[in-house]
Amino acid sequence: MSDLSQNILFEHPLNEKVRTWLRLEFLLQQLQHNRSLTNLTNTLSFFRTVSELLDIIDRGDVRTELVKELERQQHKLLQWIDVPGVDSERLSALRHTLKDHSNTLLVAPRLGQELKDDRLISMVRQRLSIPGGCCSFDLPILHMWLHNPKLQRDEQVTGWIETTAPLNNALSACLELIRQSGAFQKQTSLNGFYQDTAEDSDILRIRVDSAYQLYPQVSGHKSRFAIRFMPFDSEIGNTPERFNFEIACC
Tens-place pLDDT, residues 24-47:
999 999 999 988 888 888 999 999
87 vs 98, residue with greater confidence: 98
| Residues contacting 163, CB < 8 A, separation 6+ | 109, 114, 115
Both 95 and 145 in a single domain? yes
Query: Is 191 found in the same domain as 129?
Result: no
> Residue 5 — very low, low, confident or very high, per pLDDT cuts 50/70/90?
low
- Note whether residue 5 is domain-resident: no
Q: Are residues 176 and 186 in the same domain?
A: no
pLDDT at 84 over 90: no
Same domain, 64 and 188: no
Task: Specify whether 142 is located in the same domain as 171.
Answer: yes
Looking at this protein, which amino acid is placed at residue 65?
A: E
Domain that holds residue 92: 16-181
Note the pLDDT tens digit of each residue in 48-59: 999 999 999 998
pTM over 0.85: yes
- 137-161 confidence digits (pLDDT tens): 889 999 999 999 999 999 999 999 9
pLDDT at 217: 93
> Residue 194 phi/psi, 5° resolution?
-155, 140
Query: Of 141, 162, 181, which residue is a domain's last?
Result: 181
Q: How far apart are CA 73 and CA 63, in angstroms?
A: 15
- Domain boundary among the residues 129, 164, 181 is at 181
pLDDT of residue 113: 94
190 and 151, same domain (yes or no): no
Confidence of residue 133 (pLDDT cuts 50, 70, 90): confident
Classify burial at 53, counting beta carbons within 10 Å of its beta carbon; exposed 0-12, middle 13-18, buried 19 or more.
buried
What span, in angstroms and rounded, lies between the C-alpha atoms of 73 and 54? Answer: 26
Q: Indicate whether 158 and 199 sit together in one domain.
A: no
Q: Is the domain of 144 the same as that of 203? A: no
CATH number, position 35:
1.10.3900.10
Within-domain flag for 9: no
pLDDT for position 239 = 83
Pair (95, 52) in one structural domain: yes
Q: How confident is the model at residue 164 (pLDDT cuts 50, 70, 90)?
A: very high
- Tell me whether residue 35 is in a domain: yes
Q: What are the start-end ranges of the H helices in the chain?
A: 16-33, 40-59, 62-80, 88-107, 113-117, 119-128, 140-145, 150-162, 165-180
Domain count, the chain: 2
Do 124 and 229 have their domain in common? no
Whether residue 88 has pLDDT greater than 80:
no
User: Per the domain annotation, does 207 fall within a domain?
Assistant: yes
Give me the CATH number covering residue 196.
Answer: 2.60.440.10
In a domain, 1, yes or no: no
Task: Tell me what the pLDDT averaged over the chain comes to.
Answer: 90
- Evaluate whether 147 touches 210 at the Cβ level (below 8 Å): no
Residue that is last in its domain, among 148, 181, 214: 181
Indicate whether 133 and 40 sit together in one domain: yes
Task: Taking each helix axis as running N to C, give the angle between helix 62-80 and helix 165-180, from 0 to 180 degrees, rounded to the nearest 10.
Answer: 40
